[in-house]
C-alpha cells in the first residue's frame, strides 16, 4: 500500500469539493488504486470555511508555513487561484521537495514555463488536470493518449459561462444582457463576469492546451481575444438563416508560419459536432495525425467535477507517473491579421439604391468576395441591417475594407465582424 | 532513458499500423516520453505482410516461440484477434514474465477474468486501451480520470459499422441492404458483417466497459443483444416524425437489482448528444456521481487510430503504471424482461374500424399505455402501418401483449419493437 501525505491550500468551491470527495471516497479510493490518500493539513485564511466543512481544528491551519514546513507532506494541492501568492506557494512547495497539484489556469498560462522549469530543477512534478475542462480529461488525453500523435489543431468550447449565455440567446431569443443576468442567477457567472465574457479565461486555457499540444512555450499575451459581449440576438437569428450557430470558440492550430491561437465567437455550421455542445458544457475537439478527430465533452467547472480531476492527479502522483512538461521552443503565434477565414459581416445602412454596390465594391477592391447576402426591410431608425457572408479572405484586408466602409455616410453604427469556422 | 523491448504478434490492419507508427515516430516518442521503444521481433504467419511493410528478415519471424523465448523482450503486443490461439499466447507471455498489450475485445470479454487473474499471479500487467474505442481513451478515462467516481451508467455508440449503416439510412433514405452494401464498399463492414450488425462486437466492448465501470465480473453471455438488421427505412422515417433518431446503443447501468447490460437499436431524442454521433464515429457517454456527464467521441476503429492507442499503452507500460484490474464480485445482470422503458411499436394492420381499440385494449390489459399514435393511409398489400409510442412499461408485459396481438387476424407481419432512450 502506497501512502500519500497531502497538504491542501484553499477551501473555496474546488478545495471544499476536494475535501469532501477525499472524505467520502477514502476507502473506495484505497481499494481501487492501492493508494492511501492521507490529508494531513488543510489551510485557508477563513476559519468559517473550516466550520462549514467540519474540518477538525487539528487538521486545519490558517498559516501555509504549517504545510510547507511539515516534512511528512508529499504533495501540496494549490486551489486558491490567481497569480499571487499562488505562484510563490507553488515554488516554495517545489523547493521544499513536494510535488504540486493545481487547478490554477491563470497562473499556468502566465507563468507556466517558469513553474515547469522550477519543478524540473527540484526534480519534482506539477499536475494540473483540473486547470482545464474540470472533470473532462483533456490534459491526460493530450499528454498520454495522444503521445504517438502530432496534434494538428484544437477547437474548443472551453468556457461554460460564455457557452451558457450564447445557448440561452440562441434557444430562447434572449439578448446578451438578459442571458448574462440569467447566468448570474444560475451561479454560472461571477458578479464581475469579465474573465468569462471577454475570453480571458478561455485564452488562459487555450495557452495551456497549445503548449501541451505543440510542445513549445506559448505566451498568453500573444493569444488573440474577442469577447462575446457584442453579439446581438439579431446576429444569432441571421446566422441561423445561413445555417450557422454562434459558439464561443478557442482555437489553436499548427501552420507553416507558426501557430494560430485565438479566442472569439465563431459561426459554426449547425451540423458541426461542437454546435451541439450546449448550455454550460465544455467540448474539446482535437485533430491529430494518427488518431484523427476526437471530442471530449463534459462539465468544465463546478466543485465536484473539478475535485474529481484533482483526485485523479493525486493517484497519478502517488504512482510516480512521469509528468514532465516538455517545452522545446518558444512558439511563434501568427498575428490575427494574417488569418485566412470566412467572415460574417453585419452593416447598418441607409435603405437606398447603390448601398450594396458601394460596400461590395470596397470589399472587392480588398480581395474580399461575397458568397451570400441578406438585406432586411426591418428598420432600426433610419437604418436597415445588411448581412454578408464572405468567401475566404485575409483578416487584414477585411479590416482595412471595413475601416473605409465605416466612413461612408450610408453606414450607421460600426459593422459587426464574426469569423466562420468549419 | 527507459528502454522497452517489444515483441509484436500479428501484422494485420492494427499490427501493421503499430509497426508503421513505431517506425515513423521513434525519435519523437523518445523525446516526449523519455522511453526508447525497441521493436525486437515481429511475428506473423504470412511472410507477404513482412514484405509489404518492409520488415527486415532479421526482425521477422513466423514462429511465436522466437518471441516468448527471447528473454530480452519486456512486453508482447497481441494483435491477431479471436479467442484461440490469442488466449494461449497471452498466458504464455505472462507466465514467461512479460507484460501484455492487446486490442482483443472478444477475448477480454469472454475470458477477461481468467486473463486478469493469470496476470496478477504472474505479477504482470495487461494493457488494453485499443480494445474499445480505437483512439478514444475510454479505458484510461474509466480507470484513471474517473477513479474518484462511482460510474452510474454508460451509453455508447461503440460499433462504427452499425452507426454508419443507420446514419446512411437516416440521412439518405437507404434501406438496410443498400446501406450495408455501401458500408462494405467503404471498407467499414467485413464480407461477413454478423459480428457488427448483430451487436456481438458491441456486446464484447460493453462487457469490458461494464467490468471496469462497476468493478465486477460481467459475463458476456448475460449481455442482451438485438441487431440492427430488422430496422427499416420506414422505422427511421416514423421515428423522425416523433422527434427521434435510431442509434445502435450499448447501455450499462447500475440499478438496485443488479446491472443492466444491453445492446440494441434505440430511439434517441434528436437533441440528445449521442444523436449527433454520426457516420462511422464512436461516442461514449459516461454518467458518474462526481464528474457528471461526459462524452468521448472519435474514430473507434482503423489502423492508425487503434495503433495510436497501442502506443499509449506501451508508454504506460514502460512507466510501470499500475494496471491491475480489480473485479471484486460477479455482477448480476438483470434479465431484459425486467427492463422498464418506453417503446416504439410498429404494427402492420388491416385498415378497418376497431383495429386500434383491439390493439390498445390488449396493451392496456398488460399495463402498457400509449402516448402517441400514427396511422398511415399508405397500403402495403392489404395492410397499413400503425405506429405507437408507449409510456414507460415493463418489457415482459410488452412482449406478452405483442404475443397476443400477433395472433389477431387483423395483424399482418410480426410487429417491430424498439426501445426508446433518454
In chain B, the residue whose alpha carbon lies closest to the alpha carbon of A135 is B291
Taking CB atoms and an 8 Å limit, are B292 and A302 in contact across chains? yes
Q: Which one from B105, B205, B247, B253 is the annotated catalytic residue?
A: B205
Could you read off the pLDDT of A291-347 as tens digits, one per residue?
999 999 999 999 999 999 999 999 999 988 766 677 888 999 999 999 999 999 999
Q: Is the pLDDT of residue B27 over 70?
A: yes
CATH of the domain at A246: 3.30.360.10
* Closest-CA distance of chain B to residue A277, Å: 8
Q: Are A80 and A160 in the same domain? A: no
Q: Is the pLDDT of residue A380 over 80?
A: no
Residues near A112 by Cβ (< 8 Å), separated by ≥ 6? A207, A208, A211, A217, A325
Which residue in the set A25, A31, A292 is minimally distant from B299, CB to CB?
A: A292
Of B298, B321, B356, at which residue does a domain stop?
Answer: B298
**Per-residue confidence at A353, pLDDT binned at 50, 70, 90?**
confident
Q: Is the pLDDT of residue B65 over 90?
A: yes
Question: Is B314 within a domain?
Answer: no
Q: Are B196 and B310 in contact (CB under 8 A)?
A: no
Taking CB atoms and an 8 Å limit, are B305 and A321 in contact across chains? no
- Mutant choice from A291, A316, A323 vs B, greatest count of B C-beta within 10 A: A291
**Per-residue confidence at A378, pLDDT binned at 50, 70, 90?**
low
Q: Average pLDDT in the A52-56 region?
A: 96
Q: What is the pLDDT of residue B1?
A: 86
Q: Are B222 and B124 in the same domain? A: no
Q: How wide is the angle at C-alpha B53 spanned by C-alphas B50 and B57, nearest 5°? A: 40
H helix or E strand, kind and range, residue A75: strand A75-78
Q: What is the pLDDT of residue A324?
A: 66
Question: Is A56 within a domain?
Answer: yes
- Owner of C-alpha cell 484523427: A292
Query: What b/e string do you get for B325-359 counting C-beta neighbours within 10 Å, with b at 16 or more?
Result: bebeeebebbebeebebbbbbbbbbeeeeebbeeb
Could you read off the pLDDT of A229-274 as tens digits, one per residue?
999 999 999 999 999 999 999 999 999 999 999 999 999 999 999 9
Residues near A54 by Cβ (< 8 Å), separated by ≥ 6? none
Q: What is the DSSP string of A329-395?
A: SBPPBPPGGG-EEEEEEEEEEE-STTHHHHHHHHHHHTT--EEEEEE----BTTEEEEEEEE-SEEH
- Mutant choice from B77, B127, B148 vs A, greatest count of A C-beta within 10 A: B148
Q: What is the grid cell recorded at B226?
A: 438485438
Q: Are B34 and B168 in the same domain? A: no
Could you read off the pLDDT of B36-46 as tens digits, one per residue?
999 999 999 99
CATH of the domain at A391: 3.30.70.260
* Closest-CA distance of chain A to residue B53, Å: 17
Which residue in the set A25, A29, A291 is minimally distant from B298, CB to CB?
A: A291
Q: What is the number of structural domains in chain A?
A: 3
Residues near B168 by Cβ (< 8 Å), separated by ≥ 6? B174, B178, B179, B182, B183
Strands (E), A243-357: 244-255, 258-269, 281-288, 292-299, 340-350
**What is the 3-class SS of B373-405, one letter each residue?**
EEECCCCECCEEEEEEEECCEEHHHHHHHHHHH
Give catalytic status of residue B23 as yes or no: no
- Mutant choice from A133, A282, A294 vs B, greatest count of B C-beta within 10 A: A294
Q: What is the pLDDT of residue A179?
A: 97
Taking CB atoms and an 8 Å limit, are B297 and A302 in contact across chains? no
- Owner of C-alpha cell 528478415: B57
Q: Which one from A125, A140, A205, A253 is the annotated catalytic residue?
A: A205
Q: Is the pLDDT of residue B52 over 70?
A: yes
Taking CB atoms and an 8 Å limit, are A34 and B322 in contact across chains? yes
Q: Is the pLDDT of residue B401 over 80?
A: yes
CATH of the domain at A117: 3.40.50.720
Q: Is the pLDDT of residue A369 over 70?
A: yes
Per DSSP, helices labelled H in B226-335 are 233-241, 303-318
Taking CB atoms and an 8 Å limit, are A294 and B290 in contact across chains? no
Question: Is B41 within a domain?
Answer: yes
Question: Is B197 within a domain?
Answer: yes
ipTM of the complex: 0.94
Question: Is A367 within a domain?
Answer: yes
Taking CB atoms and an 8 Å limit, are B293 and A298 in contact across chains? yes
Q: Is the pLDDT of residue B85 over 90?
A: yes
Question: Is A148 within a domain?
Answer: yes
Q: What is the pLDDT of residue A128?
A: 97
Q: Average pLDDT, whole number, for chain A?
A: 95
Q: Are B57 and B85 in the same domain? A: yes
Strands (E), A86-150: 99-102, 126-127
Taking CB atoms and an 8 Å limit, are B291 and A273 in contact across chains? no
Question: Is A328 within a domain?
Answer: no
Q: What is the pLDDT of residue A352?
A: 86
**Per-residue confidence at A351, pLDDT binned at 50, 70, 90?**
confident
**Per-residue confidence at B379, pLDDT binned at 50, 70, 90?**
low
Q: Are A285 and A369 in the same domain? A: no
Q: Are B184 and B272 in the same domain? A: yes
Q: Are B119 and B144 in the same domain? A: no
Taking CB atoms and an 8 Å limit, are A324 and B34 in contact across chains? yes
Of A131, A150, A168, at which residue does a domain stop?
Answer: A131
Q: Are B23 and B97 in the same domain? A: yes
Q: Average pLDDT in the B197-223 region?
A: 97
Query: What b/e string do you get for B113-139 counting C-beta neighbours within 10 Å, with b at 16 or more?
Result: bebbebbeebebbbbbbbbbbbbbbbb
Residues of B in contact with A4 (CB under 8 A): none
Q: What is the pLDDT of residue A372?
A: 95
Give the single-character DSSP code of A147: T
CA distance A268 to A272: 6
* Closest-CA distance of chain B to residue A325, Å: 9
In chain A, the residue whose alpha carbon lies closest to the alpha carbon of B140 is A145
H helix or E strand, kind and range, residue B247: strand B244-255
Q: What is the pLDDT of residue A308?
A: 98
Q: Is the pLDDT of residue B189 over 90?
A: no
Q: Are A76 and A145 in the same domain? A: no
**Per-residue confidence at B14, pLDDT binned at 50, 70, 90?**
very high
Residues of A in contact with B135 (CB under 8 A): 145, 288, 290-292, 294
Structural domain span for residue B407:
336-420
Share of chain B above pLDDT 70, in %: 99
Q: What is the pLDDT of residue A377?
A: 74
Report the 10 Å Cβ neighbour count for A356: 16
Residues of B in contact with A134 (CB under 8 A): 291
Of A131, A148, A180, at which residue does a domain stop?
Answer: A131
Q: What is the grid cell recorded at A254?
A: 499548427
Residues of A in contact with B150 (CB under 8 A): 28
Across A325-334, A378-387, B130-139, B275-284, least confident range: A378-387
Q: What is the pLDDT of residue A379?
A: 67
Q: What is the grid cell recorded at A383?
A: 437604418
Q: Is the pLDDT of residue B211 over 80?
A: yes
* pTM of this structure: 0.96
Q: Average pLDDT, whole number, for chain B?
A: 95
Q: Are B345 and B210 in the same domain? A: no
Amino acid at each position: 500500500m502506497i501512502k500519500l501525505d497531502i497538504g491542501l491550500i484553499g477551501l473555496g468551491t474546488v478545495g471544499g469539493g476536494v475535501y469532501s470527495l477525499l472524505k467520502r471516497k477514502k476507502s473506495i479510493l484505497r481499494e481501487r488504486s492501492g493508494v492511501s490518500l492521507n490529508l494531513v493539513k488543510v489551510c485557508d485564511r477563513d476559519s468559517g470555511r473550516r466550520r462549514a466543512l467540519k474540518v477538525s481544528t487539528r487538521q486545519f491551519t490558517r498559516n501555509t508555513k504549517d504545510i510547507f514546513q511539515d516534512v511528512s507532506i508529499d504533495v501540496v494541492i494549490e486551489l486558491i487561484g490567481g497569480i499571487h501568492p499562488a505562484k510563490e506557494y507553488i515554488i516554495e512547495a517545489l523547493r521544499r521537495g513536494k510535488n504540486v497539484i493545481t487547478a490554477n489556469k491563470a497562473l499556468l498560462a502566465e507563468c507556466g514555463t517558469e513553474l515547469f522549469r522550477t519543478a524540473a530543477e527540484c526534480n519534482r512534478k506539477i499536475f494540473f488536470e483540473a486547470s482545464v475542462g474540470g472533470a473532462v480529461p483533456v490534459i491526460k488525453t493530450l499528454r498520454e493518449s495522444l503521445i504517438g500523435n502530432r496534434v494538428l489543431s484544437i477547437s474548443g468550447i472551453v468556457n461554460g459561462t460564455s457557452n451558457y449565455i450564447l445557448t440561452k440567446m440562441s434557444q430562447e431569443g434572449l439578448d446578451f444582457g438578459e442571458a448574462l443576468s440569467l447566468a448570474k442567477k444560475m451561479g454560472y457567472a461571477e458578479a464581475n463576469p469579465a474573465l468569462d465574457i471577454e475570453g480571458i479565461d478561455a485564452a488562459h486555457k487555450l495557452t495551456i492546451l497549445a503548449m501541451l499540444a505543440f510542445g513549445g512555450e506559448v505566451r498568453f499575451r500573444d493569444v488573440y481575444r474577442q469577447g462575446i459581449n457584442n453579439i446581438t440576438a439579431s446576429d444569432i437569428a441571421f446566422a441561423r438563416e445561413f445555417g450557422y450557430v454562434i459558439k464561443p470558440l478557442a482555437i489553436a492550430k499548427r501552420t507553416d508560419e507558426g501557430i494560430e491561437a485565438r479566442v472569439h465567437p465563431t459561426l459554426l455550421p449547425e451540423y458541426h459536432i461542437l454546435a451541439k455542445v450546449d448550455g454550460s458544457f465544455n467540448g474539446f475537439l482535437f485533430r491529430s495525425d494518427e488518431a484523427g478527430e476526437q471530442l471530449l465533452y463534459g462539465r468544465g467547472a463546478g466543485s465536484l467535477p473539478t475535485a474529481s480531476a484533482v483526485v485523479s492527479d493525486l493517484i497519478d502522483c502517488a504512482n510516480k507517473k512521469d509528468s514532465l512538461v516538455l517545452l522545446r521552443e518558444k512558439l511563434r503565434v501568427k498575428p490575427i491579421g494574417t488569418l485566412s477565414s470566412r467572415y460574417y459581416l453585419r452593416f447598418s445602412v441607409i435603405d437606398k439604391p447603390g448601398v450594396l454596390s458601394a460596400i461590395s465594391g470596397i470589399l472587392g477592391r480588398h480581395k474580399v468576395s461575397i458568397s451570400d447576402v441578406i438585406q432586411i426591410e426591418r428598420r432600426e431608425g433610419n437604418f436597415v441591417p445588411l448581412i454578408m457572408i464572405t468567401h475566404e479572405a485575409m483578416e487584414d484586408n477585411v479590416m482595412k475594407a471595413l475601416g473605409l466602409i465605416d466612413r461612408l455616410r450610408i453606414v450607421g453604427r460600426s459593422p459587426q465582424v464574426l469569423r466562420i469556422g468549419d
